[in-house]
Amino acid sequence: MTKKKKDNLVVFGFLVVPVILLFMFSYYPLAKLFELSFSDWNGLTVDYNYVGSKNYLEVIGQKELWKVFANNAAYIIVALLQQFVGLFLAILLNCKLRLKNFFRGIIFLPYIINGVAVVFMFNYMYDYSNSPVNYILGLFGGSAIHFLGASYGSNFALAFISFWRYVGYTMVIYIAALQSIPSDVYEAAMMDGAGFWQTVLHITMPNIKGMFKISLLLSINGAFQAYFEPYMITKGGPNGRTDTFITKTLSLAFDFQKYGKAAVMGVLLLIIILLLVLVQNVFLKDGDSK
């Protein structure tokens, strides 16, 4: 056997196992999800009772679907804000600044804190009666805030938990991207009289566009799949005011045993993410592509 054939055999051997695992734990469950979305399976029977497109028509026609989309919009807005704040912090802490490693560690610290601990902490912070924020406002004559009331603002309060926890992670991603840009490029730009915003727009952003696209996609994808905070704190209440796409999906499946409709929600989420990738590629395509 020649050396080239041996090398090809080794490569093939290393690829076989990952591909098998990918089909077993990704593509096969995805195919079953599509199959399940055309049935009214209740989670108990062995066989599926296929109902065609009935589940899709009922889910799309429900007002609750558009309500959870509106709730998720708060998470998407905060996710976009997280990207720009994380980028700003990365640019700031990538400069020659004293104690920059200390500040990097402080900002990144929330990401490594246990998620349940973070939720319980913010649950205390948002408590109307015992919130230290409302206590401080009261000292200055301000009115107490219903962070988790019946208003739409409750979704922003819950989304802020993710912002606080992940903005440091976003910052670290951008710092890694910024460190790949040669420092002499910035020095040449400053010698030519370029200001801070000019270097950001014409040097920083073009050089980190690939990382920006990935980070933005992951962040918005996470916003669409927001689950942990509303489930742990409000259970989607009051009256569905803080229900997100995922909490509504889980409620359909495990509370009402409507696995077919829950599968439809999963398929719709997949379609939304694919459309998001398409739109992002259109608006953030590389300028040098031909």
User: What DSSP line would sit under 20-72, residue for residue?
Assistant: HHHIIIIIHHHHHHHHHHTB---SS-SS--B-TTHHHHHHHH-HHHHHHHHHH
Which of the 8 DSSP states describes residue 194? -
Helix axes 153-178, 115-125, angle to 10 degrees: 130
Confidence of residue 144 (pLDDT cuts 50, 70, 90): confident
Q: Are 270 and 221 in contact (CB under 8 A)?
A: no
36 pLDDT higher than 90: yes
3-state class (DSSP) for residue 8: helix
Q: Are 158 and 242 in contact (CB under 8 A)?
A: yes
Sign of CA dihedral 211, 213, 218, 222: positive
Cα 64 from Cα 252, distance rounded (Å): 11
Confidence of residue 156 (pLDDT cuts 50, 70, 90): very high
Which spans in 180-258 are helix H?
A: 183-191, 196-199, 205-207, 209-224, 228-233, 245-250
Based on C-alpha coordinates, what's the Rg of the chain?
Answer: 24
Amino acid at 38: F
Where b means 16+ CB within 10 Å and e means fewer, 130-150 reads: ebeebeeeeeeeeeeeebbee
pLDDT average, residue stretch 84-93: 93
Beta bridge partners of 190: none
Cα 33 from Cα 139, distance rounded (Å): 54
- What is the percent of the chain with per-residue pLDDT over 70, rounded to a whole number? 98
Q: What is the pLDDT of residues 228-284, one digit of tens each?
A: 899 989 888 888 889 999 999 999 998 888 999 999 999 999 999 899 889 888 887
The reply to whether omega before 18 is within 30° of 0 (cis) is: no
Give the side-chain half-sphere CA count within 13 A for 260.
Answer: 21
Confidence of residue 1 (pLDDT cuts 50, 70, 90): low
132 pLDDT higher than 60: yes
pTM, 2 dp: 0.88
Structure tokens at 240: 């569905």
What is the pLDDT at residue 77?
Answer: 95
118 against 98, higher pLDDT: 118
Q: What is the pLDDT of residues 176-233, one digit of tens each?
A: 999 888 888 888 888 888 888 888 888 888 889 889 999 999 999 999 999 989 998 9
81-90, 137-146, 163-172: segment of lowest average pLDDT: 137-146
Q: Which residue, 27, 48, 29, 47, is CA-closest to 38? A: 48
Cα 162 from Cα 167, distance rounded (Å): 8
